[in-house]
Homo-oligomer: A and B are copies of this chain.
Amino acid sequence: MGENVLDTKNALILAAGELFAKQGFDGVSTRMIAEKAKVNLGAIHYHFGSKEKLYVETFSTIAAEGKNFCLSEILETSPELLKTPSGQAEIIREVVFQFFRDLFEFSRRDWKKRLIIQELLHPSPIMPTLVGKILKPDNEELADFFLVLSPAKTRSEAYAWADMLYAQGFFYLMAREPLAVLRGAENMGEDFLRTVAATTARSMILLAGLPLPANLAF
């Protein structure tokens, strides 16, 4: 493939990904994609065969990316944190804050997580693949971590605990517009998102029976 071919394909994937992430598969037409990518309408079917195959392709760029959060990195670089309750609490705090930073801080280019959520909300045939290859490893890792901290808890409780991170993140990512109407856009800025991250971290630390770190104490 020549460079210009890759340029066209990449421009289409980028434009399609951003649009699908914002408005969902049904809410985007091939004409909107072609216009945003500044390529001809026919190029979509020439390069990808169909709108649906282009949609699938937008996810292949996501699969190449890393994990959704940084639990395993922390455990590798700072294994000593696992030895004390306050260290364990610090791990949770860092994972939660890193997750929220990824979700919100670079919102200009982060259509990828929105795209994943759109697929979860309106599943297509590729949803099982997305869940199995991208979400499951992260999710099991997080639930396992909870069971290390609290061996007496059940696996269901570990799942409910791990889900809190996603539930909170998804809620603020997808409901920002109504929340801005509900409380005013000036109350939905970075300060509030930090408060949300802190609240989520406190919640998960307390549920694990750990002490609140000093930087999260009330």
Closest 10 CB pairs of A and B: A167-B171, A160-B199, A206-B206, A203-B203, A120-B178, A156-B195, A167-B167, A160-B196, A131-B181, A26-B26
Asked if A207 is an interface residue, CB under 8 A from chain B, the answer is: yes
Q: Which of B131, B171, B182, B191 is close to A135, meaning CB atoms less than 8 Å apart?
A: B182
Interface residue tally of chain A, by bracket?
35 or more
> What are some 23 contacts across the A-B interface (CB < 8 A)?
A23-B122, A24-B26, A24-B122, A26-B26, A121-B121, A121-B174, A123-B177, A123-B178, A132-B181, A135-B178, A139-B182, A153-B218, A154-B195, A156-B192, A160-B192, A160-B198, A163-B171, A164-B199, A167-B168, A167-B170, A167-B172, A170-B175, A202-B207
Closest to A118 in B: B121
Query: Which chain B residues border A152 with CB–CB below 8 Å?
Result: 218
Which residues from 171 to 218 on chain A have a C-beta closer than 8 Å to any C-beta of chain B? 171-172, 174-175, 177-178, 181-183, 187, 191-192, 195-196, 198-199, 202-203, 206-207, 209, 218
Q: Known: A127-B181, A156-B187, A171-B167. Contact between A199 and B121, CB under 8 A?
A: no
Cβ contact within 8 Å between A131 and B182: yes
Query: Which chain B residues border A167 with CB–CB below 8 Å?
Result: 167-168, 170-172
Per the bound structure, the CA–CA distance linking A121 and B175 in Å amounts to 6
Cβ contact within 8 Å between B27 and A122: yes
Query: Which chain B residues border A153 with CB–CB below 8 Å?
Result: 218
Which residues from 95 to 141 on chain A have a C-beta closer than 8 Å to any C-beta of chain B? 120-123, 127-128, 131-132, 135-136, 139
Shortest beta-carbon distance from A151 to chain B in Å: 12
Query: Which chain B residues border A206 with CB–CB below 8 Å?
Result: 203, 206-207
Asked if A157 is an interface residue, CB under 8 A from chain B, the answer is: yes
Asked if A48 is an interface residue, CB under 8 A from chain B, the answer is: no
